[in-house]
A and B are shown apart, each in its own frame.
Chain A
Amino acid sequence: EAGVTQFPSHSVIEKGQTVTLRCDPISGHDNLYWYRRVMGKEIKFLLHFVKESKQDESGMPNNRFLAERTGGTYSTLKVQPAELEDSGVYFCASSQGWGSNQPQHFGDGTRLSIL
């Protein structure tokens, strides 16, 4: 079974530019999550999709961040325009079912560097 895959693994862009991160969850997983870890801080929740619907987007930092999951398969996270404080590692995770006792399976993350 293929795991959660994220693309790109690393992105370096200048402040003010736009970047789009992609996540392919494990096949058949309806739940998809985005997290991020900015420098020196803990991993923080951004949002949760159930299929194509945003179940919880309370962790999104501001309106420069837009997440989509059209068709309920892969998801994209767009940052526009990027700011210096957006630098960090963005993780995607997926889980099979709803409920707290379902482990979340993580991708390797996208390391985003804003110059």
Chain B
Amino acid sequence: SQQGEEDPQALSIQEGENATMNCSYKTSINNLQWYRQNSGRGLVHLILIRSNEREKHSGRLRVTLDTSKKSSSLLITASRAADTASYFCATHGSHYGTSGSRLTFGEGTQLTVNP
């Protein structure tokens, strides 16, 4: 299995509802980041949470990190149709040096918000 596994793979909700996506990883990390990808577009950085942080907010986004369980969750509150996209978690390793710069991605969650 891969570093950075998201679940669910697909999530369909109604506008106004909250969406929760989870991510698990395997190795020690410096931080965990969440990205959004709209169809045919690049990855947009949403939020970064450091390994010594437990929760972080940005607008309608709330990210939690549990390093003991090697897991993170992304909550989008009051979802909108425009939130429809793929969401990826990516981990940044704790090994400074040649491999310390890369991001390791999960397979993503496809979120559909129905109007």
Contact = CB atoms under 8 A, between A and B. Distances in A.
Interface stretch (B14-22, B37-45, B57-65, B68-76): B37-45
A56 B104 CA distance: 14
Interface stretch (A43-51, A64-72, A79-87): A43-51
Nearest to A108: B42
A10 B105 CA distance: 23
A101 B50 contact: yes
B interface, how many residues as a size bin? Answer: 20 to 34
Contacts of B42: 3-4, 6, 91, 106-109
B40 A106 contact: no
A45 B99 CA distance: 10
A44 B101 contact: no
Interface in B1-20: 2, 4
B102 A59 contact: yes
18 contacts: A33-B101, A35-B103, A42-B4, A43-B88, A44-B105, A45-B102, A100-B31, A100-B94, A100-B100, A100-B101, A101-B48, A101-B92, A103-B45, A103-B48, A106-B45, A108-B40, A108-B41, A109-B42
Interface of A: 3-4, 6, 31, 33, 35, 41-45, 48, 55-56, 58-59, 91, 93, 98, 100-101, 103-109
Interface of B: 2, 4, 30-31, 33, 35, 40-45, 48, 50, 88, 90, 92-94, 96, 98-108
